[in-house]
Chains A and B, each alone.
Chain A
Amino acid sequence: MTFGRFVRKFVTNPLSVLGLLLLLGFVAMAIAAPFLAPPQGERAKREPYRIPRDGFAAEPLPPNGEHRFGTTEGQYDIYYGVVWGTRTAFKVGIICTSITLVIGLIVGSIAAYYGGWVDEVLMRIVEIFQAFPFLLAAITLSAVLQARLGRGLITGMLALIAFGWTGYSRLIRGDILTVKQRDYVLAARAVGVKNSRILIKHILPNAMFPTMVVASMRIADYVLSFAGLSFLGLGTEIGYADWGQMISFARNWIPSLADYWYILVYPGMAIVLFVLAWNLVGDAFRDILDPRLQGSR
Chain B
Amino acid sequence: MHRYIIRRLLILPLLLFGVSVLIFGMTQLLTPYERASLYVSDIPKRVGALDDIVKKYGLDAPFYIQYGRWLNKVLHGDLGFSKVGKQPVADLIKNHFPATLELALWCIGPLIYVGIQLGIISAVKQNSPLDWFVRTFAIVGWSFPLFVFGLLALMIFYAKLGWFPAGRLSDWATQVVSSGEFRVITKMNTIDALLNGRLDIFWDALRHLILPVITLSYLDWAILLRVTRSSMLEVLRQEYVTTARAKGLEEPKVIQRHARPNAMIPVVTMGGMTLVGLLSGLVITETIFNYRGMGWFFASAASQLDVITVLGFAMFNGTILVLGNLGVDILYGFVDPRVRLS
Contacts and interface: CB of A to CB of B under 8 A. Distances in A.
A124 B154 CA distance: 42
A256 to B, nearest CB: 6
A268 B229 contact: no
A127 B230 CA distance: 27
A233 B300 CA distance: 9
B26 A147 contact: no
A143 B311 CA distance: 9
Interface stretch (B178-186, B249-257, B275-283): B275-283
Interface in A124-150: 124-125, 127-129, 131-137, 139-148
Given A148-B29, A148-B34, A231-B284, A257 B321 contact: no
A104 B252 CA distance: 45
A239 to B, nearest CB: 16
Contacts of B142: 279
B18 A271 contact: no
B159 A133 contact: no
A63 B310 CA distance: 39
Interface string B229-248: 11001100000000000000
B310 to A, nearest CB: 5
Interface stretch (A44-52, A110-118, A247-255): A247-255
A135 B280 contact: yes
Given A144-B30, A257-B151, A276-B139, A296 B230 contact: yes
Contact of A131 (B140, B152, B277, B321): B321
Given A144-B27, A293-B230, A275 B143 contact: yes
B233 A257 contact: no
Contact of A250 (B15, B23, B151): B151
B305 interface: yes
Contacts, number: 167
A136 B140 contact: no
Interface hub of B31, B151, B154, B288 (most chain A Cβ within 10 A): B151
Given A255-B159, A264-B155, A139 B143 contact: no
A128 B143 contact: no
B159 A297 contact: no
Given A272-B143, A272-B148, A276-B140, A296 B234 contact: yes
A136 B38 contact: no
The main secondary structure of chain A at its interface with chain B is: helix
Given A129-B22, A143-B302, A227 B145 contact: yes
Contacts of A145: 29
B129 to A, nearest CB: 15
B175 interface: no
Given A140-B310, A257-B159, A247 B305 contact: no
Contact of A148 (B23, B30, B229, B287): B30
Contacts of B83: none
Nearest to B233: A296
Given A128-B18, A131-B321, A268 B152 contact: yes
A140 B26 contact: yes
A27 to B, nearest CB: 18
Contacts of B18: 124-125, 127-128, 131
Given A144-B30, A146-B305, A231 B283 contact: no
B contact residues, range: 35 or more
Interface in A215-229: 220, 224, 227-228
A255 B26 CA distance: 38
A126 to B, nearest CB: 10
Contact of A261 (B143, B155, B283): B155
Given A133-B321, A139-B298, A231-B284, A247 B154 contact: no
Contacts of B29: 144-145, 148
Nearest to A248: B147
B322 interface: yes
Interface string B299-323: 1011101110011001001100110
Contact of B145 (A132, A146, A272, A293): A272
A224 B302 contact: no
Contacts of A265: 152
A233 B307 CA distance: 14
B325 interface: yes
Contact of A271 (B148, B159, B276, B325): B148
Contact of A232 (B19, B23, B299, B322): B299
Interface string A233-264: 11000000000100100110011111101001
Contacts of A244: 147
B143 A276 contact: yes
B143 A232 contact: no
Given A233-B302, A254-B151, A258-B159, 5 more contacts: A232-B299, A257-B151, A264-B148, A272-B143, A279-B139
22 contacts: A128-B18, A131-B19, A133-B276, A137-B314, A140-B23, A143-B303, A146-B305, A228-B146, A232-B284, A232-B287, A232-B302, A247-B148, A256-B159, A264-B151, A268-B148, A271-B145, A272-B145, A276-B139, A279-B139, A279-B142, A296-B230, A297-B230
Interface of B: 11, 14-15, 18-19, 22-23, 26-27, 29-31, 34, 37-38, 126-127, 135, 138-140, 142-148, 151-152, 154-155, 158-160, 166, 226, 229-230, 233-234, 276-277, 279-280, 283-284, 287-288, 290, 298-299, 301-303, 305-307, 310-311, 314, 317-318, 321-322, 325
